[in-house]
Amino acid sequence: MLAGVRVAAFLMIAPPFANRGIPGTVKAMLAGWLAILVLPRATAAGGPRVGTAIASGTAVFVGDVVLQALVGAGLGFLVALVFSAVQSAGNMIDLFGGFQMAQAFDPMSMSNGSQFTRLYQMTATVLLFTSGGYQLVVGGLLRTFEVLPLGAAFDLAALAETATEGLTGMFLAALQIAGPLIAVLFLADIGLGLLTRVAPALNAFALGFPLKILLTILLAVSAYVALPQVVDSLTGDAIEGMLGVAG
């Protein structure tokens, strides 16, 4: 049960399992199955602490259940923070490209976003499943039972430090993904500004939104084709972050 609670809390937050397109029943069955698979490893790593958790009393066991829920939620948050770089990159493209005014609520991810935000997020989810990245994420979670056994104390300071580094890395990765397109749109704004100063009668800024939307659509392919490599790199970062906190 302790292992299942950690896995279930992780699956509720970490992508791609946090997507509402995956039924809760499937998540519960997956959590139970993974808990059974990891039980020998978790028991061996936990030592006598796991065997005495129930024998020590109900209060101790309930405390262990709450602790494992916090551990699973913390690890899932780190993974979600890493992969949110893709969504942030799409949000930047929407902001600089003029698509930000067409926001809509996405019930699958429970978030607001425009066209490229949702496109990038759905693409990252699909890539995690098709490339087998979700297996690496699950494998990283199961390895945490060795470095952070059941019943062991959870270092909140390490979690806060890793989350801070992950937040910085998220912004950096988002800029690396959307940076080239943002630079082109920025140069387009500069060109329109210079054209307005040279020939004010042309009212170049009236063509700004259509021109930027056209440039975004034409040049977005350059950022979109890099998503497979980006998702592969982010998967490695997510596993490293989980093991870093657990270690």
Query: What pLDDT tens digit does each residue of the chain (247 aa) get?
Result: 888 899 999 999 988 888 887 888 888 899 989 988 888 877 665 544 555 455 567 777 888 888 888 888 988 898 888 888 888 888 888 888 777 766 666 666 666 667 788 888 888 888 888 888 888 888 888 888 888 877 776 777 777 888 888 888 888 888 888 888 888 888 888 888 787 777 777 676 677 777 888 888 888 777 778 888 888 888 888 888 887 776 5
CA dihedral defined by 51, 141, 238, 80, rounded to 10 degrees?
Answer: -100
Predicted confidence at residue 191, as pLDDT, reads 82
Number of domains in the chain: 1
Predicted confidence at residue 206, as pLDDT, reads 72
Q: Domain range spanning residue 221?
A: 2-246
Cα 167 to chain centroid distance, Å, stands at 11
Task: Let me know: does 83 contact 15? Beta carbons within 8 Å.
Answer: yes
pTM above 0.85, yes or no: no
Closest CA to 149 of 247, 69, 59: 247
Predicted confidence at residue 119, as pLDDT, reads 84
Task: Let me know: does 217 contact 184? Beta carbons within 8 Å.
Answer: no
Cα 68 to chain centroid distance, Å, stands at 21
Predicted confidence at residue 87, as pLDDT, reads 84
Q: Mind giving me the DSSP string for 164-181?
A: HHHHHHHHHHHHHHHHHH
